[in-house]
């Protein structure tokens, strides 16, 4: 796309209205065209049609946008079997996470929301990476007292 399109290559559009605007010695004329664009010029056009540079710009940008919007085609298309296997893996992993969270919550008497289970994809499949607990001060003190009293 050239930086400045040529007025010679621009399509001629019918001038619908000319509006004079600007301060003294800085007056410009806004030409409202039938295509919807506005051409700004230092002098009012004396002809019924003028070249519209915005139409040239819009046309060249339209070509760029059409090129960008082409969908990516995967050949061969993904089958239902492949996606159903992923769905099963996700469901199984979610079930494992819920079992881990429930066991920890039950044994420590803390809410499920306080437990964050992180799984990791390894060569052997999805494995438990770590568990993080978010404890408020009262719960942390209660758990530490229970551990101390059970050690005596």
* Rounded distance between C-alpha atoms, residue 6 and residue 55, angstroms: 11
- Residues 24 and 86 grouped into a single domain: no
Cβ-contact 93, 128 below 8 angstroms: no
Which of 68, 93, 110 is the last residue before a domain boundary? 68
Secondary structure letter of residue 47 according to DSSP: S
* Rounded distance between C-alpha atoms, residue 123 and residue 105, angstroms: 29
Q: How many C-beta atoms lie closer than 10 Å to residue 10's C-beta?
A: 18
Mean pLDDT of the chain: 83
Specify the higher pLDDT residue, 39 or 80: 39
- Residues 97 and 41 grouped into a single domain: no
Residue 54 sits in which domain range?
12-68
* Rounded distance between C-alpha atoms, residue 29 and residue 124, angstroms: 72
Ranking 48-52, 63-67, 101-105 by mean pLDDT, the lowest is 63-67
pLDDT tens-digit map of 67-105? 776 666 666 655 555 566 777 878 888 899 999 999 999
In a domain, 3, yes or no: no
Position 15 scores a pLDDT of 92
Position 83 scores a pLDDT of 63
- Closest C-alpha to 18, from 48, 43, 42, 44: 44
Position 1 scores a pLDDT of 46
- Residues 62 and 84 grouped into a single domain: no
Scan for tokens 């993904």, then name that residue: 78
Whole-structure pTM value: 0.43
pLDDT tens-digit map of 128-143? 899 999 999 998 898 8
């Amino acid at each position: 796309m050239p930086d400045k399109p040529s007025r010679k290559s621009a399509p001629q559009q019918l001038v619908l209205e000319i509006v004079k605007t600007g301060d003294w010695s800085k007056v410009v004329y806004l030409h409202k065209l039938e295509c919807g664009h506005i051409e700004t010029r230092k002098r009012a056009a004396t002809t019924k049609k003028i070249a519209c540079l915005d139409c040239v710009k819009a046309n060249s940008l339209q070509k760029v946008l059409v090129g960008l919007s082409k969908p990516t085609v995967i050949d061969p298309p993904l089958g239902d079997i492949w996606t159903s296997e992923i769905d099963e893996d996700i469901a199984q992993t979610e079930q494992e996470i819920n079992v881990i969270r429930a066991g920890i919550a039950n044994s420590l008497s803390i809410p499920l929301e306080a437990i964050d289970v992180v799984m990791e994809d390894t060569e052997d499949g999805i494995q438990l990476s770590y568990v993080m607990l978010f404890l408020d001060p009262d719960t942390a003190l209660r758990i530490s007292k229970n551990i101390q009293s059970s050690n005596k």
